[in-house]
Structure formats: C-alpha cells, structure tokens
A and B are shown apart, each in its own frame.
Chain A
Amino acid sequence: MNEFVQTIKQTFKEVDLVLGWVRSPAAGVAVPACFHTPAQADDAVFDSTCMHNLVVHLPRLAGKKVGIVAKGCDARSIAQLVAEHAVDRSRVIVIGVHCPGMIDVKKAWRCFGFGKRISDAGGRVAMEGKTVAREEVLLQKCRGCRDWEPVICDVTAGGATKAATAPPAEPAGIRKRFAAMSPAERRQFWQDQFSRCIRCYACREACPLCFCRDQCAMQARDPGWATAAIDASQSWMAQLIRISHMAGRCSGCEECERACPVGIPLMLLLEEQNAVIEELFGYRAGAGPEVKPPLLTFNIKDDAWGES
C-alpha cells in the first residue's frame, strides 16, 4: 500500500471522515470524494489533476472531526478560516501534500474533448498525441506559486518533490490587454463579460471563504442590492458585492474562475484587489492560523464569534 493512502488511513483514529480525491472512471481525472472508512481510502489518489479546493466543504461539516488532504494553496484557505474563527482548528486534521502544480483540466478538455486522457510525465503533458511543456497547461495560480509548503499541516503525505516553480506567466492575452485598459474600457470589458453570467452562483459555492452561502446578498430579495434579473449590470453588481467581501480574505485559490461555466475571468478582479491589500497591509490571506487578518481586527473577545 502506498504511503499516501497509509497516511490517510491512520488519520481515521482521530477523525469521522477524510476529504480527498478518487479517480473518476468516466473522466479519468481526480474528483473530490469523502472517505468515511479506512477501506474507502484505498481509492484515494493525488496527482496533477487534483485541482479542486476541498476546503470549501470544511465549514459545511460543522461539528464533525474532519481530515482533509490539502495542497499548499488549499492550506492557506484553512489558515484563513481558522484565523477568522470560522473553523475550529481542533476538529481538523490537515494532511499536507506537496503539489506538483495543477493542470487546468477544464481548459484542456475544452480544446481536446471531455474525458480525454491526460498524461503528465517528465515535465511534459500529453493529450491526444500532442505534447506541450507543463507550464503551458498549468492553472494560472500555479505559475509563480509561493505556497508549495502548506502553511498549516498536521501530517505530511508526500506528493511532489520540490522542483523549480514555473515562473509567473508574463501577462498574455486577456490579462495583457486588461492591464492596459482605461477605466472606461474596463467598464465596457466587464459589461461584455457579465453579459454571459447566468447567476448560477457556482463562483460563490466553490469559494472556500464565502460564508453567507444561503443568505447571500447576491441573491437576497430583501434588501435587494441587486435584482434577480439575469442581465449584465445586475450580475456585475452582484459579483462586485461578493468580491468586495473577499477583501483581505481571498487567498487566490482561483476556484471561482475555475467553476465559472461561461469563462468570466473573475481573477482579474480578485488579483487586483489582493495586490492592493498586500501593498497596504503586507498581508496575504491565509498567512497563518494565528495571524490576525488586518481587516478583521476588532476585539474578538467582545463578540461571541466562533463556529456555530
């Protein structure tokens, strides 16, 4: 039995369930799974298609002792939730894995067809007979990754050896054009982008830090900050509400953009906001479980906050 599966199995002494990945028979890539018994964990996998941030499930599993397999970037989300007292540290066992850099599977499939097998070996990724350098098919966030070592971790379960991280990509395509746009051009750009939004809220549901969930202001009728109308200006307004609530909280896991079915580049907004926060406060969300987030520095003892 491999060391990774063995490590997961051992955590069952302390937890009710473990969040990890299994291989999907139809798709051939890793998909999220919950293991409730050590035997189920025999199917656990970790490879460069484990792109999902499983931390999104932690707040939903309130009251349960949970083991969670976490890449470096996922660990940042856990650290932020713990720092915000949104997740009780004592009920979580973090099984840290060293990430090789994740392949943008959805984009690859949009080019080659859903479920086409992906081979990732020797720094090259092959699909349908075409081979490209890994950097070209990595998720945006994996370029210039600063989080290979999980910031919060109880046991380590192997993973990739530390290799030179792919350098940050030079802004290309849409990112390059966006950077050069005037405010008026940006306005038009977002108007076009949000004309595709269908208000499915996959962005919100995939985000590990969105905590209002069922009471979300994007969807509330009262007060009606944005109407339910599925049109560009309302959808844009709704999204800006969500994004401004992410100030100092978004660790850049990119799940909102990955989840978006119509390809709206939400990270352009979040990256800009995250850069401003880092410049002003020297803070990146998820810096550590004990770090006080600068935008949440009220006296926590005065408020009976904690996981409910």
Chain B
Amino acid sequence: MRFIAEENIPRLLGRLAANAAVWAPQVVKDTVNTVLFAPWRAGGEIETGAYSALSAKELVLPATERLFSYRYRRAGEGERIGIKGCAPQERVVIFGMRACDAKALAVLDALFLSRSAGSYNDPYYQGRRSGLTVITLACTSCDSACFCSSFEKGAAETAGSDLIFYPVSGGYLAGPVSEKGKELAAVDLFQDSSQEKPGLAKTAKVELVGIQQRLLERFDDIDFWRLATEVCLSCGYCSYACPACHCFNIFDETDGDRAGGRYRCWDACMFYAYTLESSGHNPRPEAAHRYRNRLAHKFSYFPLNRGEILCTGCGRCIRGCPAGLDFRDVIRAVSAG
C-alpha cells in the first residue's frame, strides 16, 4: 500500500492537470449542496462527503455527442459531400468516484468494448474510456439509499478503478488496481505504508437470488406492475442519474442547408417516445410497462446477454426520485409471492 497526505491531494491533481482534464465532485454554485462531477481547477473545493446527483458516465457516454459532420462542397472541391468523423482522444482523470460508479464502468465495458469475434466495438466509447483514469474513493460510510452490499463485493469492489484511495487519519492509503494506477501511485507525493486498510461501509441489502427468473415469470402480470409502480411519474431521472443505464438515440441536425451532423444523445426507456413506433402503436404505453422494462433489463436481460447485473447499488434513483419511489421496494415486490 502507498500513502498520500490530505494536503498533497491538490498537488497531485494539479500535476495531473498538466496532461489531462481533472474531474472531481463539486458543489454547484448557487445551489444548496447539489453535487455534480465537473472539471476541477486549482483551488477548487472538492466535495467528498455528499453524494453526487448524477454519475460521471458522461465522461464515457456524453449526454450529447457528435458522431460525424458533413458539408456540401462547391464545384471543383472534389467529392460533392465531405464527411468528417469524430474520434475522441481526450485524456481525463476523475478523482472521487465511488466503487459503485467505477464498477458500472466495468459493466459498460462489457457492452461497448466487446472484444470477442463478431461483436461490436464502439469507437467513441473506446476512445474516451482508454483516455480515462479513475481514482476511486472507497466508502467507509454510507446512507440509507446505498445498497452495494447486495452485490458480491459491495464497497470493496475494485472493477473499473485504476487506483483506490482508502481514507485514513491524515490522508489516504492508495491501492493500485491497474498499470495506470501503479504508475500514478509511484510518484513522490506518495510513500510506502504498512497501515491497515479501514473497514468499509456495509450497506442495506436487497435479496437478489432468483430475481433473473422471477422477472421473466412476472412479465405478463401487468396488474402487478401497475400496482408496484403506481406513484411513478415516468420521468427520466433514474435512468439519467444511473451509472449503468446507457441507452441513446441517434439523430441528424442540419446547420443551415449546406452542413450538419449526426449526433447521439441519452434516451431513457421511461419515456413514452422511447418505444413509439412509426405506425403510432406503442408497446409500452404506460409507466408500468416502462418500469418493468427498466428493472428487467437491469436484473434479467442484461445479465442473460452479458453476464453482468446492470445495477451497482449507488442509490441515486432512490435519493433523487421526485415521487419518493424506492427502487428496492419494487425489487422486493417482484421477489415476493
């Protein structure tokens, strides 16, 4: 283990900022403690205690991302239409992610970085992901919305992180997970330490045994879903705040009549328009159908297809739900009876 003193954190981030954009959780100006991940500048105060309203998934899957631009050319300029692709190459270091958010990156990797023969590799995701270094802050405490202990490793999860900081008296123990993390922890701001790692948070647990099958059995019982989700307002907050939700839509925008581009932007299965077909038919007309899909995708379809659960227990969907609906209550209701 390596150790870094609290007062050396700004120095570390300052050095990293020479070669990369540094992101950290910060309180948004003019708000009452609304915390978001945002670019950090020297002197900026980092909020490591409160939970961020959104995950930092925008670093690998931006809310809106241009895929390519096109432009009609004048006569004599060669090809009639010029197309310019986008290849993200930014280098970003994120400080202060939680283990749940980092784990979600590993889950997204399973989808967007499929390296097996014949599967699709997303070049935009790959470009951003390979330029990303994740410094995770291990949780020694939690709140009542957290439920990462429901999953195999809980707060001790290391997947997705490059370097994990464990809070101890006067600073942090640093445990490298990847080569990137090892290099980072080798610099002179760190020193060797034989200190014990602190005890990590133990959160509330949700029983997930059998949920994959149970969701399939419950699929057609729409009255069950109507009852279980009747206070749901069907907004997209839970999907957009979720570190593992990753749906997007693709659309073209013109910029005047001679140029334009193709974009992708976040979309959410909680929206009516998500499954609206061009005929006017909608297979998921009610919030109940949409909530069913969101839950089953996380705990049944995605695990079946990719071998990973699409939820890491960060609790944002519970903390921020405007209807006060507790995601865990719906999981419990699915399992019961």
Contact = CB atoms under 8 A, between A and B. Distances in A.
A34 interface: yes
B51 A114 contact: yes
B231 A33 contact: yes
Nearest to B241: A261
A56 B230 CA distance: 12
Chain B binding site: helix, strand, loop or mixed by DSSP?
Answer: loop
- How big is chain B's contact interface, by range? 35 or more
A200 B240 contact: yes
A32 B253 CA distance: 40
B324 A230 contact: no
A33 B322 CA distance: 13
A261 B237 contact: yes
Contacts of A228: 64, 249, 251, 263, 265
Nearest to B253: A227
Contacts, number: 137
Contact of B237 (A31, A109, A113, A202): A202
B234 A263 contact: no
Contacts of A227: 251, 253
A265 B268 CA distance: 24
Contacts of A200: 235-237, 239-241, 268
A205 interface: yes
A113 B144 CA distance: 9
Interface stretch (A2-10, A72-80, A213-221, A275-283): A213-221
Nearest to A189: B30
B323 A204 contact: no
B251 A221 contact: yes
Contacts of A205: 233-235, 322
Interface string A175-214: 0000000000000000000001011111011100000011
B36 to A, nearest CB: 7
A109 B227 CA distance: 28
B211 interface: no
7 contacts: A174-B30, A200-B239, A206-B233, A230-B64, A230-B266, A259-B322, A262-B28
Interface of B: 28, 30-36, 50-51, 53-54, 63-64, 143-145, 204, 227, 230-231, 233-237, 239-241, 249, 251, 253, 263, 265-266, 268, 271-273, 315, 318-320, 322-326, 328
